[in-house]
Chains A and B, each alone.
Chain A
Amino acid sequence: DSGVTQTPKHLITATGQRVTLRCSPRSGDLSVYWYQQSLDQGLQFLIHYYNGEERAKGNILERFSAQQFPDLHSELNLSSLELGDSALYFCASSASGGIEVLTFGAGSRLTVL
């Protein structure tokens, strides 16, 4: 157990739907990162939050949004889902806002049918 908790572990939904993935960082960590991993793309950076503020954005689609709450947990919202959004979504946390070792959660596997 890495200390980073992601829910749900698995999610199956239909095209056009909206889902929310949740992440609780390790105790004491202020940064949360979201990554998408699909078979043909590898690990792709989506977004980074530090202590509630957005710090960096990767190639995140406009249909996707995220936020980090005052208790430091984070949610990734995916809307108007397409088949190509099927992937593993990982959350990682670190203690500060700078680059250091990231601790990853077990991921949320999203299947869009």
Chain B
Amino acid sequence: EDQVTQSPEALRLQEGESSSLNCSYTVSGLRGLFWYRQDPGKGPEFLFTLYSAGEEKEKERLKATLTKKESFLHITAPKPEDSATYLCASPNNAGNMLTFGGGTRLMVKP
């Protein structure tokens, strides 16, 4: 069964304290690894797609990286407005749906 697992479930950081979120997946023949940000009561918002091991993408304070078995979302010098739930997802083997991980709830304190 395709699985996407995220850790930690929750992460509290002080403003400016860098850290990383983990996403591990078991889908064979990866067809992309997606990162989304979700604010409370809102729909997930697309951040990045990674397709091959070694690939990296950046957006402001966020950088996503991909290995053969996992992806990391690095947050550098976070600000309170980075507080959100970060979701990763991978397509199933049939390529007709996205399986989401449980998410990491990030809280950045000023």
Contact = CB atoms under 8 A, between A and B. Distances in A.
The A contact surface, by secondary structure, is strand
A42 B97 contact: no
B57 to A, nearest CB: 13
A32 B16 CA distance: 39
**Interface size class of chain B, counting residues whose CB lies under 8 Å from the partner chain:** 20 to 34
Interface in B33-62: 34, 36, 41-46, 49
Among A48, A99, A103, A104, residue most surrounded by chain B Cβ atoms (within 10 Å): A99
Interface of A: 2, 4, 33, 35, 42-43, 45, 48, 55-56, 58, 88, 90, 92, 97-99, 101-107, 109
Interface of B: 31-32, 34, 36, 41-46, 49, 87, 89, 91, 94-103
